[in-house]
Structure 1
């Protein structure tokens, strides 16, 4: 147990501390799911998993609340595994190490997993705390949300009994979400031609690192640097004049995380290495100036290395660099309907090379299907010009806002009474699972709330302690205020 267990509300923080101790990155949630099932059974609660691995728990209504409309609290089981380059951590084996830093809880060198671990902990804390008053209650914990929403895709009709769903995956206290963007994964695969590194060429590794990174949805409008795009820009500017030959390029680790680091293994004539070092530092000064307000730790280095890899042919290398440099990134369009919210974006999340292919993985998000389709078509056209294979898959729908939602109005009224101010009713440019839940449960009334979490999907992730208490106060008051069935 860590110092977190002394924070208030104590049941929530104690459960979150336990969640941190059990590794649960995407595709490795079974240990945590098994722990939760056993924990619920020991408390005499209904607990089972479906074919997709989702966990469903049930608790009877508080005496006197039996006629209230049934509610399901929903969170996802997995977390995004991101770490600093100098942090030794195996997300499949090692526990997260949370600690208190002033008003915030952070993790040592890794993502914290407050996304969506705090929401998960709050739902389980409601089950654990018999002083919380509520009607018939369910808790749904879904699998593998961060890498494709597979649990939500696999959710079957008639499993849930609830009429109202409260999603706990929002990340700003004081905001109530009633809609979200849909998304689709896009992969561009370019065939490669390789040859031996020319005689007399020096092999070097160019490293670009120190960027903040972040969530490819909620942070995409902040203007933070994308390591893949910054590296491509430099290579495009200087590859021809320095006679650079590409051996390998890697950048980013997840398509839904803004990449913080990118690396290029290059070969160039021995006499050009000094120029490469000089140009790299000149470029660093340029982008440090451009990104001065956002990126304080940006760094570029060049070092000689040994490599057994063959180089891309000159023509193939130039084509790959041009393709990566031309691939759009960031905000495509702001919404006209929801002021201040991104309508359509994409994140050039992961770049990798193997012997025969170069792969560029993007995540496209949009509040409207046509916006998503437009970016798919643009990337496809660009890929076709380069002679690449283009694959769009894993498309998931957005959650269409419903201004008449009774639970949304109830959240607003409850928040106003508790805190004497009106919350912001928002649509979020991120993928919540609510849009997928609407297919098996079209009549479910849904809303999303949560505490303040900054830097999700990056090692800078942190959750604001006071906001967790405010969120808990709102959640428990909301459960108490749910009306009776009509």
Structure 2
């Protein structure tokens, strides 16, 4: 981590190196939380851990800034645990192997955790500084943002004194976010029956790998392949003709990450194995043609495996294939109000095989509640037609844009003064926690900024070093410009 610690700005990167060294995937943030708490108390800072595990750290104003409005800098403690199939890594035990590659920081074979580790590091670096000028300051570090926003749901009235919140979870330098999508989890349970494996068959694993994946909000409009949907498409086209029988289907690992890899375990009559290989080769060539611009590394492979004792009964298999093939996925509608921004989307994130069912986890996002509700209705209809069950959980609201936001204006003007160009004011198709904070703090003025992060939620995640410095300079300058309390 020494290479990271020497980057500019050093206080931020030194903290990020510590964050990488302490495992902190969603629902396993306690070790990092304890490390931060011990450090903050040693610094003489007031620390509160609330009932769900969020941290609130308070620091008095520097001299001359005592009468400024209270600001809370907000980040989340957890990171998305994604790795390449050939990478041996336990996210609950192993540190992130981060390294510098030109003007980027990357991780070897895993997610980096720049989402939202850079924002967290910036907040902690400010808390630890005796030189940075600011008014009364609070830092809010939430838990479980990536896997359900448990922390944001748990924030209660009276915990914060701040009038202004600066969220640090945006991922493009030069853009200021003033709104975000809401969302809801959708879980299909497809009941299945099994039958004994027929004689004279060969067992194979059909795997799709090499896709880019990525954030199911930020990257959903880029047309990247969804491994679950693409394998379902193959099965819909070939399962009947080739007499394929499914033993299991697994794909993706997070409902908010576009699936990069999926595997379906099959049996095929030994006499049709050659035909299956030909169909796989043809489908791979077709996908390479269709997705050449966005998925240059995709690969389909067929591997012989031990023959399973049972496979799905014919009716169960047909139901599963048709449900997966028919389920909507990707962009449902682009926004009319905000050019270039996705309004409503759906990501078929995870497929897993259980003893009596196949489970399919999806994430619906929308800038408007009615858009989310429309997709919920579509999935309900699909479940009713197929005999599956679907339940919706964890709904969270969007963050309604406020074009007249005073803090947004401060950030915009500060950016222009520093860099002599206009920033882009944006609404993001991702689930920032700001919408949830509006319930306990309806009058809080909010804005979101951050450095440039590419491919979050996937092993190709990287953060641009130059933009981290620009984000840091902007954040410190904004803190100096916070107005006095009325």
Q: Give the TM-score taking structure 2 as reference length.
A: 0.99
2:203–2:308: 8 Å Cα contact kept in structure 1?
no
Indicate the residue corresponding to 2:368 in structure 1. 368
Indicate the residue corresponding to 2:445 in structure 1. 445
1:15-58 C-alpha deviation (Å, 9 max, x unpaired): 00000000000000000000000010011101120001000101
- CA apart distance, 1:160: 0.4
Local SS of the residue matching 1:345: strand
Indicate the residue corresponding to 1:461 in structure 2. 461
Instruction: Judge which range, 368-377 or 350-359, deviates more.
Output: 350-359
For 1:309 and 1:414, the matched residues in 2 are separated by 66
Indicate the residue corresponding to 2:418 in structure 1. 418
Matched, 1:227 2:227: yes
Indicate the residue corresponding to 2:278 in structure 1. 278
Indicate the residue corresponding to 2:155 in structure 1. 155
1:266-300 C-alpha deviation (Å, 9 max, x unpaired): 01111011110110000000000000001111001
Local SS of the residue matching 2:345: strand
Local SS of the residue matching 2:112: coil
1:55-454 maps to which residues of 2 (within 5 A)? 55-454=55-454
Local SS of the residue matching 1:258: coil
For 2:375 and 2:224, the matched residues in 1 are separated by 21
1:404-430 C-alpha deviation (Å, 9 max, x unpaired): 110000100100100001100000000
1:317-353 C-alpha deviation (Å, 9 max, x unpaired): 1111111011110000000011110000000000111
For 1:134 and 1:229, the matched residues in 2 are separated by 50
- CA apart distance, 1:309: 4.3
The verdict on how the C-alpha distance between 1:254 and 1:309 changes in structure 2, with shifts beyond 3 A counting, is: farther
> Gapped runs of 5+ residues in structure 2?
none
Local SS of the residue matching 1:24: coil
2:202–2:307: 8 Å Cα contact kept in structure 1?
no
2:330–2:347: 8 Å Cα contact kept in structure 1?
yes
The count of residues paired between Structure 1 and Structure 2 equals: 486
For 1:258 and 1:2, the matched residues in 2 are separated by 32
Local SS of the residue matching 1:332: strand
1:437-483 C-alpha deviation (Å, 9 max, x unpaired): 00011110000000000000000000000000000000000000101
- CA apart distance, 1:314: 1.3
Local SS of the residue matching 2:239: helix
- CA apart distance, 1:2: 2.6
For 1:289 and 1:17, the matched residues in 2 are separated by 41
1:202-254 C-alpha deviation (Å, 9 max, x unpaired): 11111111000000000000011000000000011000000001110000000
For 2:159 and 2:303, the matched residues in 1 are separated by 57
**Aligned CA-pair RMSD:** 0.6
> Post-superposition, which runs of at least 4 consecutive aligned residues in structure 1 deviate over 6 A?
none
For 1:50 and 1:308, the matched residues in 2 are separated by 49
For 1:310 and 1:130, the matched residues in 2 are separated by 66
Q: Give the TM-score taking structure 1 as reference length.
A: 0.99
Local SS of the residue matching 1:121: helix
For 2:18 and 2:355, the matched residues in 1 are separated by 43
For 2:355 and 2:145, the matched residues in 1 are separated by 31
The verdict on how the C-alpha distance between 1:309 and 1:58 changes in structure 2, with shifts beyond 3 A counting, is: farther
2:331–2:346: 8 Å Cα contact kept in structure 1?
yes
- CA apart distance, 1:77: 0.2
For 1:171 and 1:426, the matched residues in 2 are separated by 12
For 2:303 and 2:472, the matched residues in 1 are separated by 50
